[in-house]
Structure 1
Amino acid sequence: MKFVIALCLFALAFAAPQEDAQIVRDERVDNGDGSFSYNFAADNGIETEVVGTPGSEGQSNVQGYYLLPLENGGFARVEFVADEAGFQPRSDILPTPHPLPEHVHELLRIAERQRAEGITFE
């Protein structure tokens, strides 16, 4: 787990504009029971905050955010959860799927009704 955290911080630092940055916040807490948190910020705008807890399958469940530098000089905020369901990022900069056509919604309603009626197909 510490390797994953270090890798994430390295990726953030590598993606940042290449200039000297001073660390303005670096707080880390390891509670010894599998739960942890860290909070990091640099004066160039890069920052991240993460909280982790033990998961039901032996993994760490992690949630938090990081700021990703953009070409225009601004930053995009990416919030995420990583748990039994995998890594789930949320951000305005991430692509979203096209909406499903209405006929697909109708087919899903028909399939749901058939399942409720006990109809199965082999």
Structure 2
Amino acid sequence: MNFVVLAAVIALAVAAPQYSYGPPSEESSEEVIEVIPILRDDRVHEDDGKYSLDVETGNGIVLSQSGSPQGPDDAIVKAGEYSYTAPDGTEVHVRFVADENGYQPQSDLLPVAPEFPHEIPQFVLDQIAKAAEEDAAAARAAEDSSEEVVAPSRLYHSPQ
């Protein structure tokens, strides 16, 4: 019985994967990852929740950011900027604020929505005016009677 257990343990040890932690051999298809040094990493964390950080890497990435608990319910409001060189060689520089209105980046490279391509058609303007008139009439009718105000969406009906 001991022989069977010993044979099972030896078989398990031989079948276990063998890991190598050295660099890949020259014949290997594994990609060697370049290690980028951190040139600067200055961080300040104050007791009141304020912080700042400045980081710069050897490949040109720069990040500068600061924040403090100024938002609703002491949410952290932060502002800063970062820059790097895109793979196509374009210099990217982004300034940002992150507060109760969300993340708000600013950069010359960010896309901007095009101007509205044409004027609003007259039939759309007419429909908007008609809806406003119906809302005003419903409000006047509610003031004149003691009935409950009906939601404007229930006043609209199919076109005649």
1: distance between equivalents of 2:80 and 2:134? 42
Give yes or no for the alignment of 1:69 onto 2:69: no
Give yes or no for the alignment of 1:52 onto 2:67: yes
SS in 1 for 2:105: strand
TM-score normalised per structure 2: 0.50
Matched letter for residue 86 of structure 2: L
Q: Which residue of 1 aligns with 2:146?
A: none
| Greater per-residue strand proportion | 1
Alignment equivalent of 2:103, drawn from 87, 95, 98: 87
Q: CA deviation at 1:31?
A: 1.1
Gaps of at least 5 residues in structure 1 are 1-17, 105-110, 112-118
Q: Which deviations, in whole Å up to 9, do the C-alpha atoms of 1:2-28 show, x marking residues without a partner?
A: xxxxxxxxxxxxxxxx53222111100
Gaps of at least 5 residues in structure 2 are 1-32, 121-127, 136-151, 153-160
Larger Rg: 2
Is residue 40–residue 49 contact of structure 1 (8 Å, CA) maintained in 2?
A: yes
Q: Which runs of 4+ in 1 moved over 2 A?
A: 100-104, 119-122
Q: Which residue of 2 aligns with 1:39?
A: 54
Identity level (%): 34
Matched letter for residue 97 of structure 1: A
Q: CA deviation at 1:44?
A: 0.9
Is residue 71–residue 99 contact of structure 2 (8 Å, CA) maintained in 1?
A: no
Matched letter for residue 42 of structure 1: T
TM-score normalised per structure 1: 0.64
Q: How does 1:99-114 map to 2 (within 5 A)?
A: 99-100=115-116, 103=119
Alignment: residue pair count: 94
1: distance between equivalents of 2:70 and 2:52? 15
SS in 2 for 1:19: coil
